[in-house]
Structure 1
Amino acid sequence: MSDEAPSLTAAEVAERAGMPVDQARRLWRILGFPESGDAPAFSKDDVVALETVMAVLRDGIVDLDVIYNVARGVGLTMARLADWEVSTLVQHVEEAYAAAGGSPDGDPATWAIDKYGKAFEDLIIHAWRRHLSASLARMESVRAVDEEAGTVQVTVGFADIVGFTALSNELTRERIGDLVELFEARCGDVIAAQHGRLIKSMGDAVLFVNDDPLAAFATAEGIINVIGRDSRMPDVRVGLATGAVVMRLGDVFGPPVNLASRLTNVARRNRIIIDAATADLLPGDQIESRPLPPRPVRGFGIVEPLTARRV
């Protein structure tokens, strides 16, 4: 973090960087920073950031709309990450010092970030580089099989906690926060172990994808084992659907995504429900699937879901 106090207005930052002030203001908004009007809310670091953007634009390959698009992803991701880091660090620091009968010098939040911020900054850059390499590899793989531009064949998984609304009304805020954190962490571990990708977490649910339907099924099994089979955790339901999805802005879109979510409404507690496309791709000598009675599924008409279990 910069120790320099804000001394520049938006207009001054834009002028020094050589960017029109209206474009600079829009970039800050997209990144999630509040409007500052004519107040001095910026530093030399902000000038350097805009100069970097201008250097990219001068190359002539990336235009301003692309910059805005990438900035939107950066802003959303970094805002959540910053809140996550601060709340986790501060809570731990306060608890640690309280147990020792003392307190850090000054505000716990500032103390924690000053002490550990650089370490986490290095970790963020390292993780970003690794994920960037993996994303490039996936794109090259899609091109190699001549998939339609922007689409990829995957198995989509959706896992959600059963009765979360009622549960959240019964538990304390601290307990529900711990539950959600444990749910996300355990699901993330299982998904990574099966070479899948956690697309997003919605508190009481996670959305993941896997290139291999069998690995996606193993992920669903794993989530049930670490969540639903744990007497301290609530039950879960998992739906799997396979097909072409559009991957954009770090998210996935398409019928398999919607169907996987809908199938969780059909699933019994701690059970896996799949669509016919997934059933056709799973090895029959390892996975047994059994059709359920056809039923209306919102957005898909009459669907015949299948239960699936390991032989």
Structure 2
Amino acid sequence: MCCTDGMIESGGLTAVVEQSLLGGPRRYTRTQVAELSGVPVDRARKLWVALGFPAAASDDEVAFTDNDVAAVRAFATLNPTSVASEHSQIAAARTLGQAMARLAEWQADLITREIGGHLAADGGEPTPEARREAIARAIAVLADLQDYAWQRHMAAALSRSHESGGATRQLLVGFADMVGYTRLSRHLDPDELTELLETFEATTTEAITGHGGWVIKNVGDEVMFAAENARDGARIALDMNAAISRAAQAIPEMPQIRVGLAYGPVLTRFGDLYGTVVNIAARLTGVARPGTVLVDDGAAAELDDDADLTLRHLRSVRVKGFSRLRSHVVRERKRR
């Protein structure tokens, strides 16, 4: 692969991968990994697959490094003393693998585009050594930034309410999605669609974090978020709508959003949220009118005495999983 078209020569990449990312050459078989880590071969294989990597063709294929041995040994410190705890260990590996795979795909695209472009801009044909050095520098910078971001997010997560020590927490759950995104995306070129999605993600993330909430996940044209209380959640939603309206002045194609909120006990599992409250928030998003915020009874009860907000109670609606779902429109109170 040549740097002049934004790609990176494969030989240089292979060398950096082996030396900088894999912790050295591949020198162990799966059987040897099991022996060195003290983890049975079958469990080591399950952990490997759960992390999102293809299984070696056989237990005797030399495919693993010192870092792989250390990782399997680290998982073993979770001390699975029962089938249930072993399943939890595998689930943890799967969640970690999925999150890291998505992050790595973005980082790999960034490196191939940016590094290749910089090398080409310098003029002439860069040597393989120059390519390897550029890749290694980029990897080092991204690794430092990744550690920094993880530490800050860990500090923020630990500072939130985890006093119960259980899997269930009382939270505000919200969804926001772009109205008519599927139809709109059909006639936008890739650059226009990228600008649209980046504006949506940046705008919603700023509103969420600005009121003490946190993003659970972005899925295309939708963001799922959480907040400690209904008041913060309502302000997040109203700020989102206002910010999207402002963005539409610069980007005519920017569609309106609709937001659904629900408050109550939710199951927290590997950074995601589950339960009836989550389902209600999703259903309310689906029936909300463009530019509006709908909340459930739980959130409405928490917001009823908020002097800055007004609630308009709507008729019950029938949605998937709920025969009579009550909803309420939240708006900012107009000052005279």
Tell me the TM-score range normalised by the shorter chain. 0.7 to 0.9
Q: Which residue of 2 aligns with 1:310?
A: 332
Shift of 1:163: 0.8
| Equivalent pair of 1:10/1:37 in contact (CA under 8 Å) | no
Indicate the SS of the match to 1:201.
Answer: strand
Matched, 1:86 2:86: no
Partner of 1:17: 37
Shift of 1:16: 2.6
Q: Which residue of 2 aligns with 1:290?
A: 312
Structure 2 length as normaliser, TM-score?
0.80
Q: Which residue of 2 aligns with 1:71?
A: 93
Among candidates 74, 85, 104, match of residue 52 of structure 1:
74
Contact (CA 8 Å) 1:105, 1:111: kept in 2 or not?
no
Q: SS at the partner of 2:286?
A: coil
- Residues 241 and 53 (structure 1 numbering): CA distance in 2 closer, same or farther, change over 3 Å? closer
Q: CA deviation at 1:49?
A: 2.2
- How far is the alpha carbon of 1:63 from its aligned partner? 4.9
CA contact (8 A) 1:89 1:112 kept: no
Cα pair distance change 1:36/1:173, threshold 3 Å: farther
Residue in 2 that maps onto 1:162? 179
* Residues 80 and 89, structure 2, Cα contact 8 Å, conserved in 1: no
Partner of 1:241: 262
What is the one-letter code of the residue matched to 1:276? D
Structure 1-normalised TM-score? Answer: 0.86
- Asked if the contact 1:229–1:235 (Cα under 8 Å) also holds between the matched residues in 2, the reply is no
- In structure 2, relative to structure 1, the CA distance for the partners of 1:19 and 1:279 (3 Å cut) is closer
Q: Hey, what's the Cα distance between the residues in 2 that align with 1:31 and 1:205? A: 26
Q: What amino acid is the match of 1:28?
A: W
Any unmatched runs of 5+ in structure 1? 144-148
* Structure 1 residue 227 corresponds to structure 2 residue 258: no
Residue correspondences, number: 305
1:86–1:113: 8 Å Cα contact kept in structure 2? no
Letter in structure 2 aligned against 1:135 = A
Which residue of structure 2 lines up, in the alignment, with residue 146 of structure 1?
Answer: none
Q: Distance in 2 between matches of 1:295 and 1:258?
A: 14
Q: Does 1:278 align with 2:295?
A: no
Residues 136 and 298 of structure 1: is their aligned pair in 2 closer, same or farther, counting only changes over 3 Å? Answer: same
Gap change, CA 1:297 and 1:51, over 3 Å in 2 = closer
Whether the 8 Å contact between 2:23 and 2:67 is mirrored in structure 1 is: no
2:60 matches 1:43:
no
Contact 2:115 2:135 in 1 (8 A): no
Post-superposition CA distance 1:88-129 (Å, at most 9, x none): 343333445556656765599966541122232233233333
Alignment of 1:88-167 (within 5 A): 88-97=110-119, 105-106=127-128, 113-142=135-164, 149-167=166-184
| Letter paired with 2:96 | V
Of the three residues 188, 211, 229, the one matched with 1:194 is 211
Q: CA deviation at 1:252?
A: 0.6
Q: 2:278 aligns with which of 242, 245, 257?
A: 257
The offset of 1:151, in angstroms, is 1.5
Cα distance per residue 1:210-233 (max 9 Å; x no partner): 112111111112221222432212
Identity, in percent, stands at 35
Paired residue for 1:8, among 4, 28, 40? 28
Tell me the CA shift for residue 160 of structure 1.
0.2
Q: Which amino acid aligns with 2:33?
A: V
Map Cα deviations across residues 38-63 of structure 1 (whole Å, 9 max, x no partner): 33221222122223334553999x95
